[in-house]
Amino acid sequence: MWRAIWQLAAHRTLTWYLPVFFLLAGYTLAAPHPLGIYLLAMLLGGLQGWVLAFRLFTDPPRVSPFIFSLPFSRSRLFFYRWLIGLLLQALTLATIFVIVASGLRQATQVSMCHSAWYPMVRWFELSVLWPVGLTSLLVYQATCFLILRRRLNGCRRISKLKWLGNKMFLGIALLLAILFFLAASCQELTTNPGIPVTVDNTGHSFVISSSYYVLLVVATTLASLYCSRHFDVDA
């Protein structure tokens, strides 16, 4: 039965995931400046996380009753889908790693753009992995939770006060995530686009930020699992 879930997930997800995947791979090859913490890479990572969550955790009206009638628990269904999203994100990061570490990006930049940055910055460009991966993961986790929470709340009415409290909580969590993301970088973004930004892994800000992100991922996963277990399926 698990093959049916993987086949359905592949059918629904790959048509949206592959364009974002190729955009990230193309950006890794063609970006004229040394790779690091840049807004475009983070936006593409966030787009990937949203696409995966949206396609994996939303079902067409006629498909949802069939999926939830299969002989396995909702928890297993949730973790199958959640794991597929993580594996596809890992595939993207592995591809970026290979492009940079194998020298393919260096060869492309030297031959086509006559870049003078190589080979000095080749290994420093691997710093692009953490902003892309972290942004993709956080957007993926948040979107999973919001989609499943909306399906859960669609089955019941809640008071305006509780609705407002939920929105405030989500807003504060998002604000903290942004603040901790900025604190994770010990070097400020420079106005010179040719100097990549790296992270000092020994800094206290990195330890605090990493702990917060781990807690955030665990919390959103458990909350999404709870919503997945309890929402009603429309026949």
For residue range 42-79, what is the model confidence (pLDDT) as tens digits?
A: 889 999 999 999 988 887 776 666 666 666 777 888 88
How many C-beta neighbours within 10 Å does residue 144 have?
Answer: 27
CA-CA-CA-CA torsion for 119, 124, 129, 131, nearest 10 degrees?
Answer: -130
3-state SS class at 218: helix
Handedness of CA 99, 184, 20, 141 (dihedral sign): positive
* pLDDT band at residue 201 using 50, 70 and 90 as cut-offs: very low
Q: Over 60: is that where the pLDDT of 18 sits?
A: yes
Structure tokens at 64: 């949802």
Burial of 28 (0-12, 13-18, 19+ CB in 10 A): buried
Q: Which whole number is the average pLDDT over 2-17? A: 79
pLDDT, tens digit, for every residue of 99-112? 999 988 888 888 88
Of 179 and 132, more confident:
132
Q: Over 70: is that where the pLDDT of 203 sits?
A: no
Q: Over 90: is that where the pLDDT of 168 sits?
A: no
Most confident of 16-30, 173-187, 214-228: 16-30
Of 122 and 202, more confident:
122
**Looking at this protein, which amino acid is placed at residue 46?**
G
How many C-beta neighbours within 10 Å does residue 105 have?
Answer: 23
Q: Over 70: is that where the pLDDT of 198 sits?
A: no
Give the separation between CA 169 and CA 162, rounded to whole angstroms.
Answer: 10
Give the separation between CA 65 and CA 198, rounded to whole angstroms.
Answer: 48
Q: Over 50: is that where the pLDDT of 32 sits?
A: yes
When the pLDDT of each residue in the chain is averaged and rounded to a whole number, the result is 77
8 Å CB contact between 39 and 114? no
Cis peptide bond prior to 61, omega within 30° of 0: no
